Structure 1
Amino acid sequence: MIVRALHSVGLRSAHLHALSLSSVVLCLALWIRAKTVDQQERGNAERRALFTGLWAPTLWLIGDSLRDRE
């Protein structure tokens, strides 16, 4: 149902796979940035980076589902 809606909107598997790889790059950038903040704010910055890294497998699997639909 969700895959059908995403497909009808115009999203394709390549879009979701690119977003997945972009979230990995964003995670790494946030992780590197977390090393530059002071100790009190570092925990929050690292959690933000880890949260962003969790998007990658979800987006990749949605992209796989769209590829099967295509």
Structure 2
Amino acid sequence: MIIKKLHESGIRSEHAYTAALASIGLSFLSWTASLKKEEAGLDRADRWGIFVGEWAPTFFGLGLALAQYEKRDGGLLKH
């Protein structure tokens, strides 16, 4: 149901994969920025990096689900 609504709103698997890759880069950037800008040190930087890094698997999962939906939806449209 959620995947269908995402697809109907124009979100495609490529968008989710792009968001996953971007979140990996953002994870590294947030870790680096936190390490350099905050006085809390490595522990806080690690928490920021892990927090943002946890988004990537979610986006990859959505990408896979959307790809399956697109494949099934495309097959239904051809008949």
* TM-score normalized by the length of structure 2: 0.78
In the TM superposition, 1:1-70 aligns within 5 A as 1-40=1-40, 43-70=43-70
Larger radius of gyration: 2
Percentage of pairs with the same residue: 33
How much does 1:44 deviate?
3.5
1:36-67 superposed Cα distances (whole Å, 9 cap, x missing partner)? 13443654343222111000001001110000
| Aligned partners of 1:13 and 1:63 also within 8 Å | yes
Could you tell which deviates more after superposition, 14-23 or 34-43?
A: 34-43
Partners in 2 of 1:46 and 1:24 — Cα distance?
Answer: 14
Runs of 4 or more, structure 1, over 4 Å off, are none
2:43 & 2:20 partners in 1: Cα distance? 24
- Give the alignment's TM-score, normalised by structure 1: 0.87
5+ unaligned residues in a row in structure 2: which ranges? 71-79
Pick which of 37-46 and 25-34 moved more. 37-46
Bigger RCO (CA 8 Å, 6+ sep): 1
List gaps (5 residues or longer) in structure 1.
none
